[in-house]
């Protein structure tokens, strides 16, 4: 069950509701609608969504729409969590330059403070190395505040999302993922309502080259400049495909290599999707969430093994009841070093990830 809490009032009956979160989108979203009886909810009200006893969303109402037809009043609402202000805002002037040795946590806290926000940071990423003297930490005029933060977080392979309280959550994804959930598509344990899978190589390349944004004089002191370049290879793709890009910030040679590997992994993740719809919003007391593992046994589509939940949409409707749509991908899709052997990848049938 999903319970909404607004202005001290609890709401559990809706015409429809959708709560969504995605690894690629730091800000969670919520839409819902009511009918017949007018509810006292206004734009900018604080709202929480409690899913099966777990708070999964805290934010503010962004939009309100009222309509009337056949003497019935219909109200629709949209909301985003507290990170929305950080995602939407430009970088303040006071945060366009930082001292040498600045840490990612300091950078985030200073930007949040400058925007008059009260978000706290939950660090699940462990020790994060401060930025060195050759890593210039500086923003540009008109730069987006969240894009500025994520450009430096990416240098440390740190991902940013919001937690259930709407605060900032930092974490890393290394591919070492256990199974929090189990999904079956046949037999007595069948709990998949629908599923589909696809793979598309259009945005994948055999060779990746990441070049540092700033040129450096070469070590011998010659007048010629050179770009620091890091390379990665995806051997599942034909070798006639090459992709070159510039790093978000100045990077060392090793950082460029890691960034190239990350780009290859992210594109591999986006080329593969297994989508599943299940009843309810939790399993065995654990609420479905991004970055958690699900063991799939789909003999029909030949998908077997542990996959990672990349995104979810929890829905409540008068016609379909309570369901959750999830998109899953490789467990190591967002880690720098792929843990799936290339030999195993070549055995993939339609989106199969073998982890027996």
List the CATH number of the domain containing 133: 3.55.50.10
pLDDT range class, residue 43, cuts 50, 70, 90: very high
19 and 153 together in one domain: no
Q: Kindly state whether residue 356 falls inside one of the protein's structural domains.
A: no
Lowest mean pLDDT segment, chosen from 38-47, 105-114, 221-230, 299-308: 221-230
Q: Work out the percent of the chain whose per-residue pLDDT is above 90.
A: 63
Q: Kindly state whether residue 94 falls inside one of the protein's structural domains.
A: yes
pLDDT value at residue 67? 81
How confident is the model over 302-306, as a mean pLDDT?
91
330 and 192 together in one domain: yes
pLDDT per position as a tens digit, 243-279: 999 987 778 889 899 889 989 988 987 888 899 999 9
Number of domains, the chain: 4
Structure tokens at 58: 């805290």
How confident is the model over 319-334, as a mean pLDDT?
90
Q: Kindly state whether residue 355 falls inside one of the protein's structural domains.
A: no
Provide the domain limits for residue 245: 207-267
63 and 159 together in one domain: no
pLDDT value at residue 132? 85
214 and 301 together in one domain: no
Q: Work out the percent of the chain whose per-residue pLDDT is above 70.
A: 89
193 and 286 together in one domain: yes
pLDDT value at residue 336? 62
259 and 163 together in one domain: no
Instruction: Check if the beta carbon of residue 220 is closer than 8 Å to that of residue 306.
Output: no
Domain boundary among the residues 81, 111, 138 is at: 81
CA distance 31 to 18: 5
CA distance 79 to 65: 12
Pairing of β 242-246 and β 207-211? parallel
pLDDT value at residue 340? 41
Q: SS3 letters for 252-278?
A: CHHHHHHHHHHHHHHHHHHHEEEEEEE
CA distance 308 to 265: 14
275 and 194 together in one domain: yes
19 and 45 together in one domain: yes
191 and 274 together in one domain: yes
Q: Kindly state whether residue 59 falls inside one of the protein's structural domains.
A: yes
275 and 195 together in one domain: yes
Specify which residues 30 forms β-bridges with. Answer: 19, 79
- Termini Cα distance of the chain: 33
- Does residue 294 surpass a pLDDT of 50? yes
Residue 248, burial from CB neighbour count under 10 angstroms (0-12, 13-18, 19+)? middle
Specify which residues 157 forms β-bridges with. Answer: none
Domain boundary among the residues 249, 267, 285 is at: 267
Q: Kindly state whether residue 105 falls inside one of the protein's structural domains.
A: yes
Q: What is the CATH number of the domain that holds 308?
A: 2.30.300.10
Q: Kindly state whether residue 353 falls inside one of the protein's structural domains.
A: no
Specify which residues 143 forms β-bridges with. Answer: none
59 and 100 together in one domain: no
Instruction: Check if the beta carbon of residue 161 is closer than 8 Å to that of residue 23.
Output: yes
Lowest mean pLDDT segment, chosen from 74-78, 131-135, 165-169: 131-135
Q: For residue 303, what are the contacts with CB-CB under 8 A and spacing of at least 6? A: 195, 197, 274, 296, 350, 351, 352, 353
Domain boundary among the residues 29, 59, 81 is at: 81
141 and 56 together in one domain: no
pLDDT value at residue 33? 93
CA distance 96 to 88: 17
Question: pTM surpassing 0.75?
Answer: yes
- Does residue 225 surpass a pLDDT of 80? no
Q: Give the torsion sign (CA, 208, 214, 219, 223).
A: positive
Q: Kindly state whether residue 51 falls inside one of the protein's structural domains.
A: yes
Q: Kindly state whether residue 335 falls inside one of the protein's structural domains.
A: yes
- Does residue 353 surpass a pLDDT of 70? no
């Amino acid at each position: 069950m999903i319970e909404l809490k607004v202005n001290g009032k609890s709401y559990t009956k809706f015409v429809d509701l959708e709560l969504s979160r995605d690894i690629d989108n730091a800000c969670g979203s919520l839409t819902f609608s009511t009918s017949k009886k007018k509810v006292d909810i206004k734009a900018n009200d604080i709202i929480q969504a409690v899913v099966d006893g777990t708070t999964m969303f805290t934010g503010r109402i962004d939009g309100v729409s009222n309509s009337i037809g056949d003497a019935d009043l219909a109200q629709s609402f949209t909301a985003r969590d507290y990170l929305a202000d950080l995602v939407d805002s430009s970088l303040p002037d006071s945060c366009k330059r930082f001292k040498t040795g600045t840490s990612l946590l300091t950078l985030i806290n200073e930007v949040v403070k400058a925007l008059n926000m009260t978000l706290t940071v939950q660090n699940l990423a462990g020790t994060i190395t401060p930025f060195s003297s050759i890593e210039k930490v500086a923003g540009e005029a008109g730069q987006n505040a969240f894009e500025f933060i994520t450009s430096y977080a990416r240098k440390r392979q740190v991902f940013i999302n919001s937690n259930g309280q709407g605060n900032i959550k930092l974490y890393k994804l290394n591919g070492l993922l256990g199974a929090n959930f189990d999904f079956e598509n046949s037999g007595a344990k069948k709990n998949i309502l629908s599923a589909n899978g696809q793979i598309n190589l259009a945005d994948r390349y055999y060779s990746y080259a990441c070049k540092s944004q700033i040129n450096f004089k070469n070590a011998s002191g010659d007048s010629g400049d050179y770009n620091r370049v890091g390379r990665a290879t995806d051997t599942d793709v034909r070798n006639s495909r090459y992709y070159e890009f510039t790093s978000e910030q100045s990077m060392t040679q090793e950082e460029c290599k890691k960034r190239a590997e990350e780009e290859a992994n992210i594109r591999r993740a986006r080329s593969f999707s297994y989508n599943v719809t299940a009843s309810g919003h939790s399993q065995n007391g654990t609420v479905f969430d991004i970055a958690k593992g699900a063991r799939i046994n789909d003999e029909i589509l030949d998908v077997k093994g542990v996959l990672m939940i990349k995104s979810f949409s929890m829905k409540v409707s008068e016609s379909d009841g309570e369901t959750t749509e999830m998109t899953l991908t490789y467990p190591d899709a967002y880690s720098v070093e792929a843990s799936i052997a290339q030999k195993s990848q070549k055995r993939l049938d339609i989106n199969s990830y073998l982890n027996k």
